[in-house]
Amino acid sequence: HPCGACPGCTQRLLCISVVVLLILVAALALGLTLALLPRAPAPNNRTGFLCDDRMTCVPASWVCDRVSNCRNGEDEQEQLCGDLPHSLPGHLVFYCSNPRFWVYADQRCNRMNECGDCSDETWSLAACPPCGQEWWTCSSVYFEFCSCIPRRLCRDGVQHCLDWSDEFICAA
Ligand SMILES: [Ca+2]
Ligand SMILES: [Ca+2]
């Protein structure tokens, strides 16, 4: 039978047409959405400097270190490095408790005392997470550390903690 001959056939054809149309519209909408979405700035979510290739993410402390890490050396350009730290984007800089001193953002909470007064490590300003598995928590007697001592320094016969806990309590 030709389709017009029975009402059921026409209805089925109409139904199929509507479904096909709906699928097409949905596909178009999905395509548009994907095309309009902002592209991910980097392969993973890290804080750093994004090179012009939109792929290479340079750690903050590699910016303006006189070594080109971007293919075209964008991380060392005059515009960025001419007046440190003011010429740097704010997210790459951490100001110590004494605002005359600053460190790169990736030096905050890296367990090393780069501010000199541990304000990049232990003060509320830095808001660091707890020391974690690899570290022993105590007050350091060494200038280079603050409140986290590498566990490899536990029970090595040298006092690293003010309370000696690295030699008497910490298990390496
Ligand atoms: Ca560099
Ligand atoms: Ca630090």
Residue 31 CA to residue 71 CA, distance in Å, equals: 32
Structure tokens at 125: 């300003």
Burial class (CB in 10 A: 0-12, 13-18, 19+), 109: middle
Task: Answer yes or no: are the C-beta atoms of 117 and 97 closer than 8 Å.
Answer: yes
Shortest-distance ligand to the CA of residue 109:
2
Shortest-distance ligand to the CA of residue 71:
1
Residue 59 Cα to ligand 1 midpoint, Å, equals 9
Check whether 114 has a pLDDT greater than 80. yes
- Model confidence, pTM: 0.70
Shortest-distance ligand to the CA of residue 122:
2
Tens-place pLDDT, residues 89-108: 999 999 999 989 999 999 99
Residue 63 Cα to ligand 1 midpoint, Å, equals 4
Structure tokens at 104: 């790169």
Tens-place pLDDT, residues 23-79: 999 988 888 877 776 554 445 567 899 999 999 999 999 999 999 999 999 999 999
The residue assigned the tokens 């005359």 is 100
